[in-house]
Amino acid sequence: MNNGNEFLDRISVNTHSSVRIETNGHVLYIDPFALTRPTGDADVIFLTHPHFDHFSPQDLVLICKSDTIFVLPERMADQAAEMTKGHRVIAVAPFAHGEVEGIAFETIPAYNAHKPFHPRKNNWVGYVLTLEGLRIYIAGDTDATEEAAAVSCDIAMIPIGGKYTMDAKKAAVLTNRMHPQIVIPIHYGSVAGSMEDFNIFAEKVDPSITVHRVI
């Protein structure tokens, strides 16, 4: 598969940056948060950093099963130790390449350039997942960095809410530099940002890029 539009029904965003993806018989979660019901269906959980809206133990228990695998930054492994006890844990640093359950992944630095919330030194990350021939970038909490701009992907999931991350206008500039086939804006409308951020973002994205709304 190499058509991102055909993959979109496999991607859902519960709220904020809480992403669920189904692929080749696996269920993946990225930063599960504010879930409404137990499913016990997570094969792999990718965590970007330890803030409450990205690392939420009360939500993790709703989706974990006995063989769920965690992929998370090295710098949060100790903080997550109680939650991940008994599970396989893959601790990563920025610019890592790995594979889990046959899924290739890369890690991209996620940080603020001029804000205190996500220091670069913490080595928190976003992920590029290769799923059925598509490269899907889930950026995590980041500003519009050169490392993000250098990512090659088919589908980009980019925070747009401002305050803790880049705002909608800067996110659009980043998206146009990356030029994915599809962009899904996240991280707005609840913990940070407003629903109007989507319109600001969409108006400034190159018309050749499909802006897909899920929040």
Q: Mind listing the pLDDT tens digit for each residue in 77-92?
A: 999 999 999 999 999 9
Contact, 54 vs 126, CB < 8 A? no
Which run of H or of E encompasses 147?
A: helix 146-149
Amino acid identity for residue 14 in this structure = N
- Binned at pLDDT 50, 70 and 90, residue 1 comes out as very low
CA atoms lying within 13 Å on the CB side of residue 42: 26
> How much of the chain, in percent, has pLDDT values that exceed 90?
85
Span 150-175, average pLDDT: 95
* Residue whose tokens read 């269906």: 41
Contact, 184 vs 157, CB < 8 A? yes
Q: For the chain, list the domains and their CATH numbers.
A: 4-211 (3.60.15.10)
pLDDT in tens, 114-148: 888 999 999 999 999 999 999 999 999 999 999 99
First to last CA, the chain: 25
Q: Dmax over Cα atoms in the chain, in whole Å? A: 47
